[in-house]
Amino acid sequence: MSPLLEIKGLHKRFHGVEVLKGVDLSLNQREVVSIIGSSGSGKTTLLRCVNLLEEFEGGEIILDRESIGYRGTGSGRKRLPDRELSRQRAMTGMVFQGFHLFPHLTAAGNVMLGLRKVRRMERAEARALADTWLAKVGLGNRADHFPGQLSGGQQQRVAIARALAMNPKLVLLDEITSALDPELVQEVLQTVKALASEGATLLIVTHEMRFARDVSHRIVFMEQGRIAEEGPPAEIFGAPKNARLVEFLRSSRD
């Protein structure tokens, strides 16, 4: 069976600086992969390329056997029109470090917006689904609260529900606990663990090493725009080979 996500030779520049220098990564269905590495290694940029928030100059991203973002490959390729990009974006879900809930909508409203406007559900159906997902992340009784009335951890859980309710093929999690107060981090990590155990396909960028070790099938270590080492958690954390990875793990422990 072919992988759900295939990233081949991904190159990206920001204002002339090469941020991704040829990344190859594949992800199977129901697999959880965590990307670790120091700031500036390109982890977040990689995620943002997968959900087409960023353009990329070289390489290809194939999601469920469909090449996304561009028509054709190589130098003659063209960025797809907005409608196509939006359709492809709906196939992936993303949870941001800053949550970015829609402040003018309730928790239920946040989850429902995509269901109604992209999946074109009727209001009642969308509301029922939203309620289900909010209950799943432990916020069933907060459905009619506005983001301003929720704690950071609660907001992030709503963001997770919002991404998952769209039934995406793959969920991207971009340092989702980095902006939270320490005591709120666990509730979010628990939610993600529950999702992983139910068979979700997750690509996670995180600083939380213990969490990464517990939840992932595979760890990827990125350094300066490339994947430096990759393997199961036991290997990466127990017997790292790459020198930079060793250094990184040591400094993370401090």
- Which of 60, 84 has the CB closer to another protein? 84
CA dist 135 and 129 (Å) reads 10
11 binds another protein (CB under 8 A): no
| Nearer to another protein among residue 173 and residue 212 (C-beta) | 173
Residue 101 binds another protein, judged by CB under 8 A? yes
Contact 42, 26 (CB under 8 A): no
Is residue 87 near another protein by the rule CB under 8 A?
A: yes
Query: Is residue 203 within a helix (H) or strand (E), and if so which, with residue range?
Result: strand 202-205
Based on the shown chain and the rule CB under 8 A, indicate whether residue 104 belongs to the binding site for another protein.
yes
Stretch binding another protein (CB under 8 A), from 67-75, 85-93, 131-139, 237-245? 85-93
Q: With beta carbons less than 8 A apart as the criterion, state whether 242 and 41 touch.
A: no
Six-digit token string for 9: 């030779």
**Cα–Cα dist 152/99, whole Å:** 8
Q: Provide CB contacts within 8 A for 210, sequence distance 6+.
A: none
Number of residues in contact with another protein under rule CB under 8 A: 27
The set of residues, in sequence order, having a beta carbon less than 8 Å from that of 93 and lying 6+ positions away, is 163, 164, 166, 168, 170, 171, 172
Nearest-angstrom CA–CA distance, 152 and 165:
20
Pick the closer one to another protein by CB: 102 or 234. 102
Footprint on residues 12-51 left by another protein (CB under 8 A): 51
The CB-of-101 to another protein minimum distance in angstroms stands at 7
DSSP alpha helix (H) spans, the chain: 43-50, 82-89, 107-117, 123-136, 152-165, 182-197, 209-215, 233, 243-253
Handedness of CA 73, 78, 84, 86 (dihedral sign): positive
CB of 114 to another protein, least distance (A): 4
Least distance to another protein, CB of residue 84, Å: 10
Based on CB atoms, which residue is closest to another protein, 158 or 228? 158
Site residues for another protein, window 169-198 (CB under 8 A)? Answer: none
Q: Which of 19, 33, 68, 96 binds another protein (CB under 8 A)?
A: 96
Among the listed residues 158, 159, 161, 202, the single contact to another protein using CB under 8 A: 159
**Neighbour-count burial of 157, counting CB atoms closer than 10 A to its CB (0-12 exposed, 13-18 middle, 19+ buried):** buried
Distances (CA, A) of 161 to 23, 115, 193: 29, 12, 14
Does 120 sit near another protein (CB under 8 A)? no
Of 58, 59, 114, 240, the one binding another protein (CB under 8 A) is: 114
Q: Which of 8, 60, 64, 90 binds another protein (CB under 8 A)?
A: 90
Positions touching another protein (CB under 8 A) are 51, 53, 82-83, 86-87, 89-94, 96, 98, 100-104, 113-114, 117-118, 159, 162-163, 166
